[in-house]
Structure 1
Amino acid sequence: MSNTDPLVLDHEAWNLSELIEHILTRHFNLGDEAIGGIAWQVRSRDGGDESESLLHVNRSLESLGWVAMLDEGDPPILSVAPRPIEQLLLPNWQLLSIWSMMSVFLTFVGSAWLLQFDADAGAFDPEILRQAVLYFTLPVVLTMALASEIRRRAAARFGINIGHLVPIVFPILSPIWPFGIAGLLSQRRSDLFLVPNRRALGIIELATPLTLFLSGTVLTVIGLALTPNEPPEISALPIAFQNNPLLTILVMDWLGADLWIRLQWLHPTALAGIGLSVVGWASLLPIPGFPGDRMLHAIIGPAEMSDSKRQTSLFILMLGVMVLVFVETEYWPWLLIAAIGTMRRFSTENTPPPIIVDESKGLSDVSRKQLVAAMLIVLIAGFPGMYPTYQIADWDAGLDI
């Protein structure tokens, strides 16, 4: 017979709560239980860093389908909840098919824009299609792909597999919205993946709007340089554009009064740039479901954002903005955005907030100032006006026709 000590077996199996509590006690000293779910006041064992201990705990809980989250407090509150079910990402061939289809739609828009200045050309004229692809489709697609890749890499830096964005394009040239591009959709809802902290959330959500806005501004300047001062042969009511304050600063000394002239018959590259800038600017509006609202969660904090007084204040603010927009403009995209923003702010349960794993340390003052500065600069310097696009009704006034 062996002289080894006998193995002692526990006659009672642990339930799930006991198992989770045992895992937590490896890295935390558990204090009083908090109200609502599996939660405790905690301190890291041996005086260590709570955030570092949280990482170790979540490595153990991941295989069980649970996640631990730290909330602000002294001591912080550690809660445990089931991990959100991850949405499947589109296969590469499906994603490529969507991007290819949207590229074709953009080519239709670019061709329609060029046909305004060449009445003799046909819709499928090879030269028109070539120029549409070269000067409109490629700049837009490459910029959207760049924005998608920057966002994907920013998320991967924090251990999040977020996938590429899906572009939405309308294949028609409308005087109200002649850009074609309507936006970029994420493959994963923000409440179905875990964000490690508020700083990570802010960086991820800022990546796409900032890339679209800055790249669009560069393309607009290039397109303005390619736009002639002399009017082309126009076969329909020309579509003119307002310029944002940043564009005025960049090109006013260079173009002077010619800027207002060129905005009436833009080169397709400038059209692409303005469209991308406007979409990037609109994405940062603090509307539930938009990147701008998720940036507010990062800047202010989910606890403050979910506070009833804060929600009431935001709703009143959105209501005031909606009234102002309805009074000052008849530009229906702005009316639509204002209405959507007000409705979503009134019923926030339809747009769940992002899940932040570690809120114990909040957001540093430096990170907060950087995110606020970036957001405000884009929203103020990129404001496209109450009528970003409009048709010139009397463009042929004084001509003998």
Structure 2
Amino acid sequence: MSDSNAKPIIIADKAWSERQFIGHILARYFTLIEDLGGVNPAWSVLPLEGMEDGDPHISLELANSDLAEIDMCAELFNDEPWAIQITPTPIGLFSMSNKAIMLFWIASFFSTFFVSSNWIESTIGGNYTDKSVLTSALFFYAIPFTGTLALASYLQVSIGKKLGVRLGHILPIPMPLPYFPWPFGVIYAPSVPSMDRIVWPNRRSLALSAIVAPSVLIISGFFCIMLGLWLTPENVTLSQQPNRLSFPLIANLIGSVAFGSESLYLLGAWAHPLALAGLGLMMLGWIYLLPIPGFPGSRILISFVGLEAARSFRWQVTLFLMIAVTGLMFGAFDGHSLWSFLTIYGSLQILLFGSNLRTPRILDDLKPLNEKTGTRLSHFLFVALLLALPSEMPTEMVSDWDDTPEWSIPTSLDLDLNSTGEFYILLDSPALIAQDWSVRGWTNDTYWDLKWQCTSTTNQTLNNGCSGQIQPLSKVKIPLMWASPTDSKMNSSVIEIHLWLQSGSTSSQQTIRIIPNSQVVLDSTNWNWNQNHESPQLCTSILFAEDALPGNVSIIDTATTNTTGDSSLLWTFDGLSSAALIPNELENHTLPLCLNGESGAIHQLSGGLSLRWVSDEGEIYTFTPSVVDSVVTLSSSGQPTMLLSDNEAFTSNSYVLWNAEYTFCRQDLFPRLPGVAFENGSDDGPEWRWDLLFREYGLIPNLANGSLNLTVPAEGWLMVCDDDSPLPSQFWQISSTSDEYSLSMINGQLLNSIITSDSSTEFSLYGGLSFADVELRTHGNVDIDVVLNQSNYSITINQQNGQIVSTSAWLQLDSDGLIELHVASWEIGV
């Protein structure tokens, strides 16, 4: 080509101003209608015809690609019809050095390593110096947690680059304190520079960049939780109160299906560190999605509705209410510090920056998201907020981790006679540790056959019981098999099973009443005695079925013989006008009965005092309740008392228990001898010393050739117990006294009882007390002569030929503290 054919270059007459230069650049893509003036250049424009069908948004992108060469950018506004304003591109956004950023990452790594080590040590056990603790904290928490943040940071920068936006990396903020509500080591992870300071080409780039980090954290966190649960052992021996993890909704749902709801609860109590890392990542990702100014959730909201709409008063009120409702839902107003802080922070951000139209800066805020992108983002946002919904307390101290298992025992059972079956005793453990349990039972009934089915192949007697270990959050069913008596007319009495229950470190005693399904049933196997010796009264109740026939009740002595006489002669019905009764006319089909006895009659029972019910059709039911021994008063001065081998209160191979309130033996004790015996320098053997105020229970030493120096408190109960029963073989209620009869059983203590048919009988008894000042009281319809010596007494009975006489003697303490010797002699047959 020759120089003559070259087109001439047009040169302006004078240099362009900056406004003119920018105007010429915009003229490539827009028709400039009017210069709008102002500090920053602005024009009213129309897109050029033929420029992508006159789309101003495409024209704006092309113009900004040219303006970027001179560090300028154009922002599109609504006008008549459009307006463009030119502003400089922000400078100094990426001023933080890579060295400073790296320091934050290193500090966050060590922070996560420290808090995870502390969490492992306090929850699962171990020590900071243990290699296993340090290894787990490093490889299963610090590396996965910071590594996921690094992955989110890298993907955020990469996607921003593809969208034509330069973004900074995530800057994790360390919190190396083992703070209970947030034990994750990183409290926040913003981008540097803040995304609100970045200039965004359009809403689409803003939305896609904002969604990257939360989605990576939520998805990675979920997989870390599931993998951590899979790595968590099923059983861990806890030694201190654990810090249990409560997982987000999706992890709870899938974990419950995969492991079971109870197993998931247990796994959360000693979860693998990887599960803790996943929980922290999901929590951080979910919080990022909240529409709080400065959070990715706020930028996503802006990308949907636009900056002007999102900063409107209506939206600010809506967002404020959303934050308040979220805080209320998570207990922010109930003292849950994590959600309280987040609610306060979010509310302040909305109040201070919620109406700020300058951030984030979007050059083409007028172009909405396309339908495909908006639909996908809205679906993801809804699913993420719902399925990643955290629990009210992501971590919580388990206060009941070592709670005692609870027994569920029926108080009464209606069982058929002449049949067999079983019922269950349930043990439920709310604790997170395995605990030992045992159950034993006793009853004074000899007709029912009761056995424990400890295993499918092993049965144990009621006394031997069952034992085992209950696992965390589990239940144990202990079957008690029963076989009822066959002779219902003789043995249809309510029986009581006394159970001694041990679970964990606690023990308790409970009673089960078995009520036979019979026409006539005695309410108890024992008489209820009023503890009165001079005017004894025995009470019980007879239970009738609704269709029971009328009949009559009588008192009989089933043990009467020609030589023992009939003890029922000493007893009469109290308040019963007629022995003939109609059961349907009784209240609740129950007949309360009381027998009034003669003085001393309680000591003259031959063991056969019975009630007999005879129906109008001749059916006979006979009941022979037992008489529980008298509650004897033990007089104590609180001073040491010497006990010798002939004291009838104590026998070897048993143990003594003192208690201030109840009269049940404890099966969880391991009694020992009271103290070190020492020789007293004589041939009487060793002397033992025992003060029950300092040692409430202990083995009774063998006093065959020694003595026991015993100090009994001035009040409470003293019991002699055996290893195989919760019911004491002997027990006394202690009464304070200052006299010399300390530690003497003197209230209703039976000295002797005899039955004789001879014309005259004389005998002596050793009472163990000095009778010099004892007051004598006699009772009965037989003449007797009583002679008292210092420590003995003799009784002469003056009886007629053929008389069968029952005589008994007992000691009693009157209201003034004086000791009375009572002698009762009654004719009970010929």
Is TM more than 0.5 here?
A: yes
Map residues 344-383 of structure 1 onto 2, 5 A cutoff.
344-348=349-353, 352-383=358-389
Amino acid at match of 2:266: I
**Hey, what does 2:19 align to over in structure 1?**
17
C-alpha separation in 2, matches of 1:137 and 1:323: 32
The alpha carbon displacement at 1:140 in A equals 0.6
Change (3 A) 1:211 1:73: farther
Amino acid at match of 1:70: L
**Deviation readout 1:341-371 (Å, 9 max, x if unpaired):** 1111112169652111223432112211211
Amino acid at match of 1:220: I
Amino acid at match of 1:208: A
- Confirm or deny that 1:200 pairs with 2:205: yes
Tell me which protein shows more helix as a share of its residues: 1
Choose the corresponding residue for 1:167, options 164, 167, 172.
172
Which is further off, 167-176 or 153-162? 167-176
Provide the alpha-carbon RMSD of the alignment. 2.8
C-alpha separation in 2, matches of 1:98 and 1:73: 46
**Deviation readout 1:252-307 (Å, 9 max, x if unpaired):** 22111211111111110101111110011011101011110011111111121122
Residues 149 and 164, structure 1, Cα contact 8 Å, conserved in 2: yes
Larger radius of gyration: 2
The list of structure 1 runs, each at least 4 consecutive aligned residues, that deviate by more than 6 angstroms after superposition, is: 3-8
Amino acid at match of 1:113: W
C-alpha separation in 2, matches of 1:327 and 1:269: 28
Tell me which protein shows more strand as a share of its residues: 2
Amino acid at match of 1:44: P
The alpha carbon displacement at 1:247 in A equals 1.1
Choose the corresponding residue for 2:195, options 169, 175, 190.
190
Which is further off, 75-84 or 105-114? 75-84
Residues 175 and 186, structure 2, Cα contact 8 Å, conserved in 1: yes
- Confirm or deny that 1:44 pairs with 2:50: no
SS of 2:180 mapped into structure 1: coil
**Hey, what does 2:288 align to over in structure 1?**
283
The alpha carbon displacement at 1:79 in A equals 2.1
**Deviation readout 1:109-131 (Å, 9 max, x if unpaired):** 11112212565x43233332112
**Hey, what does 1:96 align to over in structure 2?**
102
The alpha carbon displacement at 1:5 in A equals 8.2
Map residues 49-198 of structure 1 onto 2, 5 A cutoff.
49=52, 50-71=56-77, 75-117=81-123, 119=125, 121-198=126-203
Q: Identity rate of aligned residues, in percent?
A: 28
- Confirm or deny that 1:253 pairs with 2:248: no
C-alpha separation in 2, matches of 1:283 and 1:254: 29
**Deviation readout 1:15-41 (Å, 9 max, x if unpaired):** 433332222112211235669764334
C-alpha separation in 2, matches of 1:328 and 1:97: 37
**Hey, what does 1:384 align to over in structure 2?**
390
Residues 103 and 141, structure 1, Cα contact 8 Å, conserved in 2: yes
C-alpha separation in 1, matches of 2:82 and 2:187: 42
- Confirm or deny that 1:342 pairs with 2:347: yes
C-alpha separation in 1, matches of 2:294 and 2:363: 20
SS of 2:244 mapped into structure 1: strand
The alpha carbon displacement at 1:326 in A equals 5.4
**Hey, what does 2:697 align to over in structure 1?**
none
SS of 1:166 mapped into structure 2: coil
**Hey, what does 1:27 align to over in structure 2?**
29
C-alpha separation in 1, matches of 2:302 and 2:21: 33
SS of 1:172 mapped into structure 2: coil
Residues 297 and 305, structure 1, Cα contact 8 Å, conserved in 2: yes
Which is further off, 86-95 or 380-389? 86-95
C-alpha separation in 2, matches of 1:319 and 1:252: 31
**Deviation readout 1:292-342 (Å, 9 max, x if unpaired):** 001111111112112233333333444454556556642211111111111
C-alpha separation in 1, matches of 2:111 and 2:81: 55
The alpha carbon displacement at 1:219 in A equals 0.3
C-alpha separation in 2, matches of 1:72 and 1:372: 26
C-alpha separation in 2, matches of 1:89 and 1:193: 13
C-alpha separation in 2, matches of 1:190 and 1:6: 45
Change (3 A) 1:16 1:114: same
Gaps (5+ residues) in structure 2? 405-503, 507-830
C-alpha separation in 1, matches of 2:9 and 2:170: 59
C-alpha separation in 2, matches of 1:94 and 1:321: 36
Matched length? 397
Change (3 A) 1:233 1:310: closer
Which is further off, 268-277 or 193-202? 193-202
Residues 322 and 338, structure 1, Cα contact 8 Å, conserved in 2: yes
Change (3 A) 1:176 1:33: same
SS of 2:364 mapped into structure 1: coil
C-alpha separation in 1, matches of 2:77 and 2:132: 60
Change (3 A) 1:118 1:296: closer
Change (3 A) 1:297 1:231: same
SS of 2:112 mapped into structure 1: helix
SS of 1:188 mapped into structure 2: coil
SS of 2:269 mapped into structure 1: coil
Amino acid at match of 1:392: V
SS of 1:69 mapped into structure 2: strand
Residues 311 and 355, structure 2, Cα contact 8 Å, conserved in 1: no
SS of 2:49 mapped into structure 1: helix
C-alpha separation in 2, matches of 1:255 and 1:72: 57
**Hey, what does 2:473 align to over in structure 1?**
none
SS of 2:256 mapped into structure 1: helix
The alpha carbon displacement at 1:85 in A equals 2.1
Amino acid at match of 2:259: L
The alpha carbon displacement at 1:199 in A equals 1.1
C-alpha separation in 1, matches of 2:9 and 2:59: 34
C-alpha separation in 1, matches of 2:172 and 2:332: 32
Amino acid at match of 2:50: G
Amino acid at match of 1:249: L
Change (3 A) 1:334 1:54: same
Change (3 A) 1:137 1:5: closer
Flag the structure with more relative contact order, 1 or 2, with Cα contacts below 8 A and sequence separation at least 6. 1
SS of 1:347 mapped into structure 2: helix
Amino acid at match of 1:245: L
Amino acid at match of 2:373: S
Change (3 A) 1:369 1:234: farther
Residues 249 and 391, structure 2, Cα contact 8 Å, conserved in 1: no
Change (3 A) 1:33 1:334: farther
C-alpha separation in 2, matches of 1:138 and 1:212: 14
Give the structure-1-normalised TM-score: 0.89
Choose the corresponding residue for 2:300, options 289, 295, 298.
295
SS of 2:189 mapped into structure 1: strand
Change (3 A) 1:179 1:198: same
C-alpha separation in 1, matches of 2:351 and 2:123: 46
